[in-house]
Each structure stands twice: as C-alpha cells, then as structure tokens.
Amino acid sequence: MTFGQHIEEQQVIDYVLGNLSEQQEINITEHTEQCSKCQAMLADWSQVLQPESEIDVKPSPSLKEKIWEEKERKQIPKQKIKRHPRLLWVMGSVAVLLFLLVELLPKTTVPNYTANSSFEVMHNGEISDDSIQTNPQTKQLEIESIADFDDVSGDIWVNDRYEELLVEVEGLLNRQDKDYQLWLIYPNNTMKGELLSIENGSSRVLIKGKDVSEFELIKASLEPVGGSKKPSGPDSFIVELGD
C-alpha cells in the first residue's frame, strides 16, 4: 500500500485504535518511519487514545476536540427517528386546520353586535343621504351630556315612518385604552351595541330598519378597547326616544 504525501488523519486514528488490517498497519508503520510529519501526528493520537504509551506528546486544543468527536462517533451509534405514517398524516391535518381557522377568523377584533339585527348601520363617510334631517316627519332630540362628559353634545333624528335614525355627536376624545360604544335599548331592556367611529372628535351613525320604531333609549358609554357585550363603563349621554 502506498500513500501520497501524507497519511490521512482518519487512517492514523484507526491505526491507533487497532481498526486496520495487518497489511494496512505495516504500510503505515513503514511510512511513519520515513515521514516526520505523519510520525508526529501518530504520536499525538497515540498519546490521547493510548495514554499508557511512552510517547510524551501534548495534543493541541483543536486536536482534543477532534478526538472527542471521533470517540462519540465510534462509541455512540446514531439512532434513527422512526416516524409513523399515521402520525405524520395527523400532524399535517392539524396544521391545515389551524391555518384555515386563522384565515377564517375576522381580521378585526372589534365585535359587531348588530350584525344579526333587523337593521342596517352606517358610519361617518358611509352616510350619503341626509334627507332625514329635513324631512318634516322627523323628530329631533338633543343630546345632553352626563357628568364627567361636559364636552359631549349633539342631536338624534328619528323617523319612524321611513325607519331611520341618525345620531350626530361631538366632543368625543380619542383614547388609546377605551372605545365609545352606542347602545340601542328596547322596551324589554334588551340592547344591542355598536362601536362609534370617531373622526376629529365627532361621530355620525345612521340606522335603517324596522327596529328603529322599537328603540326606547339610546345611550353611549366608554368601554374597553373592542367593546363590551353589556355596558360596563361610565355613560357619556342618554336619550329617551319614547313619546
């Protein structure tokens, strides 16, 4: 057996560990007798792998690292992780379901409590028809603020014949930690809420539908961000709609 310029380090390790054939060991022995570099490498590995050897050579830190890697490779066999086909199928199905749930969830955290109601709600720029304010059959009510909301003012227009109700309120402060919520209250004290969209301290809400004639009270309260299912914060105004 012949070598190129030098013996490969892996062969030197196998030589020291006794993992080579007799002929391979003879060839390496003959080569190291003539090559000082390979002889030094052999001495290093012999000192580490066979401490009882009489050769006194201290291996470098990088050499020690290689030695430990080599020992782990030879002494600790790699274990293959078995993946059951059914388990993989279940994991894949769960991942797909989670993705679909995320995609189907509403993109906003603001609840819409009037979504299933028998009336339509429009806000600010969505309102294009202001005829309710000039209609002679429309009843106009003034919004009067409650304590701690002295700057709140506005009007409510109600037209039972055309089933329309318009709320215009001013003096609302934009807050990062709270939302204003409008409450539409029926005679049996059930209610439905709608978050107010504030622009420059003002908000306009137009409600159309048969429920308009059934509302008994309208009020607004300050609620946690995203709104509440029931009023929990301080009221900013209350307006009675009944005759």
pLDDT tens per residue across span 94-134: 776 776 665 665 544 444 555 556 788 989 989 888 789 98
Q: Are residues 142 and 209 in the same domain?
A: yes
Q: pLDDT averaged over the chain? A: 78
CB neighbours (10 Å) of residue 153? 15
**Total structural domains within the chain:** 2
3-state secondary structure of 142: strand
Position 227 in a domain: yes
| 91 within a domain of the structure (yes/no) | no
Final residue of a domain: which of 23, 48, 75? 75
> DSSP string covering 182-241, please?
EEEE-TTS-EEEEEPPPBTTBEEEEEEEGGGGG--EEEEEEEETT--SS--S-EEEEEE-
Which tokens is 131 given? Answer: 């005829």
Domain range enclosing 154:
119-240
Do 140 and 231 sit in the same domain of this protein? yes
| The model's pTM | 0.52
139 contacts 159 by C-beta, under 8 angstroms: yes
Helix (H) or strand (E) holding 136: none
Q: Tens digit of pLDDT for each residue in 189-220? A: 898 999 998 998 899 999 999 888 889 989 99
In this structure, what CATH number is given to the domain that contains residue 215?
A: 2.60.40
**Distance from C-alpha of 120 to C-alpha of 155, rounded to nearest angstrom:** 19
Q: How far apart are CA 211 and CA 213, in angstroms?
A: 5
In a domain, 232, yes or no: yes
Distances (CA, A) of 208 to 112, 158, 164: 16, 10, 5
- Is residue 107, in this structure, part of any structural domain at all? no
For residue 95, tell me if it sits in a domain: no
The tens digit of pLDDT for each residue in 67-100 reads 556 555 555 454 444 555 666 666 777 776 776 6
Residue pair 55/46 in contact by the 8 Å Cβ criterion: yes
Supply the pLDDT for residue 73.
Answer: 59
- Same-domain status, 133 and 26: no
Q: Are residues 135 and 63 in the same domain?
A: no
Report if residue 96 sits inside a domain. no
